[in-house]
Amino acid sequence: MNSNSLVSINDISRDEILDLIERARFFEEHPNHKILDGKVVATLFFEPSTRTRLSFETAVNRLGGRVIGFSDASTSSSSKGESLKDTIMMVSNYVDLIVMRHYLEGAARYATEVTDTPVINAGDGANQHPSQTMLDLYSISKTQGTLNDLTITMVGDLKYGRTVHSLLMAMQYFNPTFHFVACPELQMPKEYKEFCDLHGIKYYEHTEFSPEVIAASDILYMTRVQRERFSDLMEYEKVKNLYTLRNSMLDVAKDNLRVLHPLPRVNEIDRDVDDNPKAYYFEQARNGLFARQAIICKALGIDVLNLKGDE
Amino acid sequence: MNTDKKELAVAALRCGTVIDHIPSSALFKAVKILGIENMDKYVTIGNNLSSHKLGTKGIIKIADVEFPESILNRIALIAPHAKVNIIRDFNVVEKRPIKLPDTIVGIVRCANPKCITNNEPMRTRFTVVNRNDVTIRCDYCGHTVKSDDAIID
Ligand SMILES: [Zn+2]
């Protein structure tokens, strides 16, 4: 077990979140900092995710490290029936850091228990994806100048969307106000509303994506509504366009409002929003690179803020 | 002490352990947790005995065995009001309630089929998140379950 591992955003404190944001900002200013010279990082993708893998691999490359790994389980030893433990122990012999994505929930937690090599969870089934949450937090902090006292509106699939759940929990330290906008089938689960109650976090639930809600928001966090989430396809047809953001809807928004989306989007944000300066989802994805550089350095115990002049 | 002695003496236990106040519905789960089916000791299992507190209760008596605290405490998962009596020379030398541990290792299977614990040869681990209704949460996948509904291996 290596205590620098990052499995869940819930494992790290307020100070660690703020520290990672500061490091991400550092990497945005100095993206090509060769501090991983001589280090080898494994990216083990038991489940394919090109977007996340490329982001992590770019982060390592820009820091001067090298990458080994596989991009889907069919090419890996696990397809031959090797246990996760054996794969992790084998790879641990070769590398300084493991970045892993797995289709099973809890896989990354288990990996940290079988090796002393630090592990970064790049997604474990429907469970956790902390680097996504960190890039969301970095994007919010960067666009708003703070994480404190913000009004965040979450729209779309609030029931199954793990990004909104993790973001909600990570925001507990920063006195947020939430608006949850979703159809009855995809509302925020009870456990997360109880979490808000327990931590004194204000929240309001809406089934209508109204101008009033948009006007009140600092952040509009859009998510994809997937057809396969509906037991009743008639219901899907009825709601699929109710939670689509159109450019004209942003007329009432505050100047500082930014639209976030974990991507990929389908039709929940109209293309005409892309040119609006409030659209932030492409920069958000780019911020993922800096957030991941920060996470990688933390996992390797490298204090970048005290390294100077070796750029 | 006298009534205890009389009641427990039904099976005339010289030395050993008596676990009392187990809800009837949980008795056989308790038997499983203690691993009694693999023991060669003298064992008495009673069920559907009348109880003021529980309506009906079960009781388990095992001769010549004193279980480690860690095993007994697992019984708390399914029988939070159970009492343990340690018998020596026909006397109850110790009588104490069972204590629910903070962490349950092994025993409970995670109900989430996509949980790593159901797909790797490994032990499960749960954290008790609510002691009142005995809700436990899987340390790996985060799935929570009330212990009444928990799948006990
Ligand atoms: Zn589990």
Residue from B79, B86, B69, B99 nearest B32 by CA: B79
Across the strands, what pairs with A260? A221
Q: Which residues of A are catalytic?
A: 51-52, 80, 101, 129
Q: What is the per-residue pLDDT across A46-58, written as a single tens digit (0 to 9) for each?
A: 999 999 999 999 9
What is the model's pLDDT at position A247?
97
Instruction: Provide the sign of the torsion angle of the four alpha carbons B65, B66, B68, B73, taken in this order.
Output: positive
Rounded CA-CA distance B4/B96 in Å is: 13
Domain boundaries of chain A, sorted by first residue: 9-128+288-306, 130-285
Q: What percent of chain B has pLDDT over 90?
A: 52
Instruction: Please give the residue that has the higher pLDDT: either A232 or A283.
Output: A283
Chain A contact for B113, CB < 8 A?
no
Domain B16-97, CATH: 3.30.70.140
Residue B5 pLDDT greater than 60, yes or no? no
CA A233 centroid distance within chain: 29
Q: Which residues pair with A69 in a beta bridge?
A: A43
Strands B125-130, B103-105: pairing kind: antiparallel
Least confident of A21-25, A290-294, A296-300, B27-31: B27-31
A225-255 b/e with 16+ CB inside 10 Å = b? beeeebeeeeebeebbeebbbebebbeebee
Beta bridge mates, A259: A220, A279
Helix (H) or strand (E) holding A174: none
Q: Which of residues 132-151 of B touch A (CB under 8 A)?
A: 138-144
User: Tell me, what's the pLDDT at B11?
Assistant: 55
Residue A75 has pLDDT above 80, yes or no: no
What does the domain layout of chain B look like in residue ranges? Answer: 16-97, 103-152
* B119 touches A at CB < 8 Å: yes
Residue of B nearest to A102 (CA): B116
Stretch A16-26: mean pLDDT: 96
* Cα A121 to middle of ligand 1, angstroms: 16
Report yes or no on whether pTM surpasses 0.80: yes
Strands, E assignment, A39-189: 40-45, 66-70, 97-102, 119-124, 151-155, 177-181
Flag whether pLDDT at A307 surpasses 80: no
Q: Measured between CB atoms, which of A102, A105, A107 is closest to B112?
A: A105
CATH architecture of A9-128+288-306: 3-Layer(aba) Sandwich (3.40)
Residues whose CB falls within 8 Å of the CB of residue B77, separated by 6 or more in sequence, listed in order: B33, B100, B104, B107, B108, B134, B136, B147, B150, B152
Is domain B103-152 in CATH 2.30.30.20, yes or no? yes
| Distance, CA of A80 to CA of B81 (rounded, Å) | 48
Whether A195 contacts chain B with CB within 8 A: no
Q: Is A104 within 8 Å of chain B by CB? A: yes
What is the distance between the terminal CA atoms of chain A, rounded to a whole angstrom? Answer: 32
How far apart are the C-alpha atoms of A167 and A9, rounded to whole Å? Answer: 9
- CB-nearest to B119 from A104, A126, A191 is A104
Per-residue model confidence (pLDDT) at position B9: 45
Task: Please give the pLDDT value at position B149.
Answer: 83
A 70-89 → B contacts, CB under 8 A: 83-85
CB B90 within 8 A of CB B14: yes
The pLDDT of residue A311: 46
Q: How far apart are CA B14 and CA A225, in angstroms?
A: 67
Query: Are A126 and B115 a contacting pair at CB < 8 A?
Result: no
Task: Please give the CATH topology (third level) of the domain spanning A130-285.
Answer: Rossmann fold (3.40.50)
Average pLDDT along chain A: 93
